[in-house]
């Protein structure tokens, strides 16, 4: 392992955390813009240092663990949440030759696996808090994330079939002629919705659902442990956006600009779209969310797999 790649492994996660922190500011400013108000604009130029102020405040908060909570699990939960997101980033190709950790030829499977583990963070947090609102949030999260994982994987199968690989770099290379968003439009839509549900963002933010459950699974969390959930959520948004950019929008590919810049640009557009959705949409009800998943999105993703396979077979037979 070269020194450069070692540095990347060490510094990469920190850069990501920094990025996620800045994203909290971006989201608040954008929401402010769309909601006819200012948003945080006092700390630093345009309020840019607001995340620093927030981070400092959150670090100095009392590290409170409720006496009724299951101590070890209560501490473990946010760590899992943070780790799974950061690990997933390791295998996403930033350019043709640049990864944080390295090129993995089952990269996509690895990311799906990590997302699967990410459910534990929310479920364990809800369970270990030993509080009713947290429990309800944890229950919702478990049901939601497990069901949406099913067709998140299925919706990706189309991409995998077209590229013939789980390797993310191969997948990007396969989009040299045409971005996969065109042949895989349906799969893209399903993946986008599943991604929203995975990161529990509006309109799928039921595990938190502040109008109903206070704060849902992290009701009892405060200080830096809450901060970890918070940052992990934003890192999760970046992750899903980066995945969408990689799988459907041609990754680093693009004319004129540097590849890394293209990648960042595409990811950024998807992130902003996520924020726009939050500004625009109300929240689904729990049973409606499950019905949408199992009755609409699952059949659609199966249909997508079948259609892709049929087209591929027809093309393969002379």
Partner 1 sequence: MPLALVPEPPPTLADTIAAPLPPGGLLATQVTADDVACLWISPASLRPVLASLKARAGSLLMLFDLTAIDERERTHRDGQPEGAFTVVYHLLSLSRREDEVRIKVALPAHDPALPSICDLWPNANWYEREVWDLFGIRFDRHPFLRRILTPPTWTGHPLRRDHHARATEMPPYSLTEDHEQAEQEAMRFDPSVWGMKRHSEHSDFLFLNLGPNHPSVHGVFRIVLQLEGERIVDAVPDIGFHHRGAEKMGERQSWHTYIPYTDRVDYLGGVMNNFPYVMAVETLAGITVPPRAQMIRIMLAELFRIASHLVFYGTMAQDVGQLSPVFYMFTDRERVFSLIEAICGFRMHPAWFRIGGVAMDLPNGWDRLVRAFIDDLPARLDEYDAMVMRNPIFRARTKGVGAYTTSDAVEWGVTGPGLRATGLAWDYRRHAPYGGYDQLDFDIPTGECGDCYDRVAVHVAEIRQSLRIIRQCVDNMPAGPVKADHPLTTPPPKARTMHDIETLIHHFLSVSWGPVIPPGEARCCIEATKGVNAYSLISDGGTTSYRTRIRTPSFAHLQMIPQLCPGIMIADLIAILGSIDFVMADVDR
- Closest CA relative to residue 304, chosen from 194, 197, 193, 190: 190
The least CB distance from residue 198 to partner 1, in Å, is: 18
264 vs 271: CA distance, rounded Å: 10
We find the least distance from the C-beta atom of residue 237 to partner 1, in angstroms, to be 16
From residue 24, how far is each of 50, 193, 218 by CA, in Å? 9, 21, 18
Compare residues 100 and 213 and give the one whose CB is closer to partner 1.
Answer: 213
31 vs 106, beta carbon nearer partner 1: 31
* CB 20, CB 234: distance < 8 Å: yes
C-alpha–C-alpha distance, residues 9 and 7, integer Å: 5
Smaller CB distance to partner 1: residue 205 or 305?
205
Cβ at position 22, least distance to partner 1 in Å: 21
Rounded least distance, CB 34 to partner 1, Å? 6
Name which of 24 and 165 has its Cβ closer to partner 1: 24
What are the structure tokens assigned to 308, written together? 């892709």
Tell me how long the chain is.
Answer: 318
Of 108 and 289, nearer to partner 1 (C-beta) is: 289
Please identify, using beta-carbon distances, which residue of 286 and 294 lies nearer to partner 1.
Answer: 286
Closest Cα to residue 142, out of 79, 206, 87, 194? 206
* Minimum distance of partner 1 from residue 196's CB (angstroms): 13
Q: Footprint of partner 1 on this chain (CB under 8 A)?
A: 31, 34-37, 132-133, 136, 139-140, 202-203, 205, 209-214, 278-288
User: Minimum distance between the CB of residue 111 and partner 1, rounded to whole angstroms?
Assistant: 28
Residue 253: C-alpha distances to residues 56, 188, 260, 261 (Å):
38, 18, 9, 10
Look-up of token digits 């396969």? 174
**C-alpha neighbours within 13 Å on the C-beta side of residue 31:** 15
How many other CB atoms sit within 10 Å of the CB of residue 308? 20
């Amino acid at each position: 392992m070269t020194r450069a790649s070692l540095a990347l492994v060490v510094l990469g996660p920190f850069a990501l955390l920094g990025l996620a922190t800045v994203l909290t500011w971006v989201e608040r400013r954008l929401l402010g813009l769309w909601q006819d108000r200012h948003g945080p604009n006092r700390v630093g130029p345009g309020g840019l240092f607001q995340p620093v102020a927030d981070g400092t405040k959150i670090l100095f908060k009392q590290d409170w663990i409720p006496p009724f909570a299951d101590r070890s699990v209560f501490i473990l939960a946010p760590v899992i949440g943070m780790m799974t997101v950061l690990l997933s980033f390791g295998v996403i190709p930033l350019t043709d030759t640049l990864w944080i950790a390295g090129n993995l030829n089952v990269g996509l499977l690895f990311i799906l696996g990590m997302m699967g583990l990410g459910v534990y963070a929310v479920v364990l947090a809800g369970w270990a808090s030993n509080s009713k609102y947290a429990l309800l949030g944890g229950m919702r999260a478990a049901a939601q994330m497990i069901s949406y994982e099913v067709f998140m994987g299925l919706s990706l199968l189309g991409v995998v079939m077209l590229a013939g690989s789980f390797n993310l770099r191969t997948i990007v290379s396969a989009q040299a002629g045409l971005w996969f968003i065109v042949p895989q439009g349906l799969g893209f839509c399903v993946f986008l919705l599943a991604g929203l549900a995975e990161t529990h963002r509006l309109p799928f933010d039921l595990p938190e659902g502040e109008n109903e459950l206070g704060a849902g699974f992290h009701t009892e969390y405060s200080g830096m442990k809450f901060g970890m959930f918070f940052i992990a959520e934003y890192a999760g948004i970046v992750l899903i956006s980066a995945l969408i950019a990689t799988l459907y929008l041609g990754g680093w590919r693009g004319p004129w600009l540097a590849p890394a810049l293209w990648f960042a640009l595409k990811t950024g557009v998807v992130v902003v779209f996520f924020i726009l959705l939050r500004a625009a949409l109300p929240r689904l009800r729990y049973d409606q969310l499950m019905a949408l998943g199992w009755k609409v999105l699952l059949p659609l993703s199966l249909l997508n797999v079948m259609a892709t396979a049929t087209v591929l077979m027809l093309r393969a037979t002379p």
